[in-house]
Chains A and B, each alone.
Chain A
């Protein structure tokens, strides 16, 4: 970490809050982000540990290895859409946290529709690619795994996004800044947990 401060030695001594937003010093950026990224990496070891535990199944069924990056990536994308839409509506003053709110209903409907589309395609694609890579899992099994874990994940991501936007707003943080990193990380970890929970039940 000292390398970061050395580059800008002497430049950021009398920074105040206002300068930090526009000044862009190496020291500031590194000292803000590195602790955050380190904390997130420690959290990510949870999904890593789950993957290591399932190493044998993963190596035996390449279809499952194919699913890992896509599953967590898609969950993160869905969460990001939900978060940025909710926080924009919050900024516009049109958001009301209630299940009967047409905005929330439209967002949830869209996320579920996207999830259903993507996870069906994913089941077929992972089966097709897996067969080329000598996989032995059948199309039915893979579709079952992707649809069940995908839809569970989508419901979970909707809940996490809504709670994150609401909590961020109540705590006085701009949800635009805080919610996307939270939701993408939470969905990385829970995506792996849910995927392998379903795999463990099915296989």
Chain B
């Protein structure tokens, strides 16, 4: 039964996913490169500092939620329908809390790094940006992830194979866009 995939087999199977994620990454990057975003980066010290941590956190939070839900489906712990039971509710509430707690921590951390680097930073501004970006991300990611996992599973798709690319693809695009919204709202409030 042991079959060795050749390099070409692996290449052919992985290329489509990698290309989709490339396009999404380019879209996220393009948002970062727009004039509005560059103005935002320039006007709020610390945005570039928290960007990698913020993007990685959403990967960690929603990647692990996805992995948990797909194991749960395989084990028969949850049904492949959006039924509001304790298990599903707990998993969702926990991932929401994880995202919010860590994002608040990132804002404080970025502010401390700015202080250490001897640069100006506004803690309240960074907090508002992170809370808004994390809240919007939570709604978007939960919506997309739950739909893809449950619909995919019902159609015979193994969620294990799609969660990774879905989380990175959707996460990068939405993450940067919501960061921009956070910057705009913080600018309007302060």
A77 touches B21 (CB 8 A): yes
- Which residue of the partner chain, among B24, B32, B63, B91, contacts A65 with CB atoms under 8 Å? B32
B38 touches A48 (CB 8 A): no
B2 touches A114 (CB 8 A): no
Nearest A residue (CB) for B113: A45
Interface size class of B (residues with CB under 8 A): 35 or more
Flag whether B148 is at the interface (Cβ < 8 A): no
- How far, in whole Å, are A52 and B68 apart by their CA atoms in the complex? 35
Per the CB 8 Å criterion, the residue count for chain A at the interface is: 76
Flag whether A130 is at the interface (Cβ < 8 A): yes
Q: Tell me the dominant secondary structure on chain A's binding face.
A: helix
Flag whether A13 is at the interface (Cβ < 8 A): no
Given contact pairs A26-B93, A69-B172, a sample of 4 additional A-B residue pairs in the complex whose CB atoms are under 8 Å apart:
A70-B26, A74-B25, A105-B7, A180-B63
Given contacts A29-B94, A41-B53, is CB(A130)–CB(B110) below 8 Å?
Answer: no
Flag whether B48 is at the interface (Cβ < 8 A): yes
B52 touches A192 (CB 8 A): yes
Residues of A within 8 A of B102 (CB): 34, 37-38, 41
- Digit string of B17-55 for contact with A (CB within 8 Å is 1, else 0)? 111011011101110111101100110001011111101
Smallest CB–CB gap between B82 and chain A, Å? 16
B164 touches A55 (CB 8 A): no
Flag whether B189 is at the interface (Cβ < 8 A): no
- Which residue of the partner chain, among B6, B26, B29, B60, contacts A33 with CB atoms under 8 Å? B60
B10 touches A33 (CB 8 A): no
Flag whether B190 is at the interface (Cβ < 8 A): no
A55 touches B48 (CB 8 A): yes
Residues of B within 8 A of A76 (CB): 59, 168
Flag whether A49 is at the interface (Cβ < 8 A): yes
Pick the most buried of A29, A74, A102, A105: most chain B CB atoms within 10 A of its CB: A29
B97 touches A3 (CB 8 A): yes
A69 touches B29 (CB 8 A): yes
B22 touches A106 (CB 8 A): no
Residues of B within 8 A of A34 (CB): 98, 101-102
B32 touches A48 (CB 8 A): no
- How far, in whole Å, are A42 and B106 apart by their CA atoms in the complex? 8
Residues of B within 8 A of A114 (CB): 11, 14-15, 18
- Which residue of the partner chain, among A49, A67, A113, contacts B49 with CB atoms under 8 Å? A49
Flag whether A40 is at the interface (Cβ < 8 A): yes
Smallest CB–CB gap between B110 and chain A, Å? 7
Residues of A within 8 A of B17 (CB): 77
Q: A136-166: which have CB < 8 Å to B? A: none
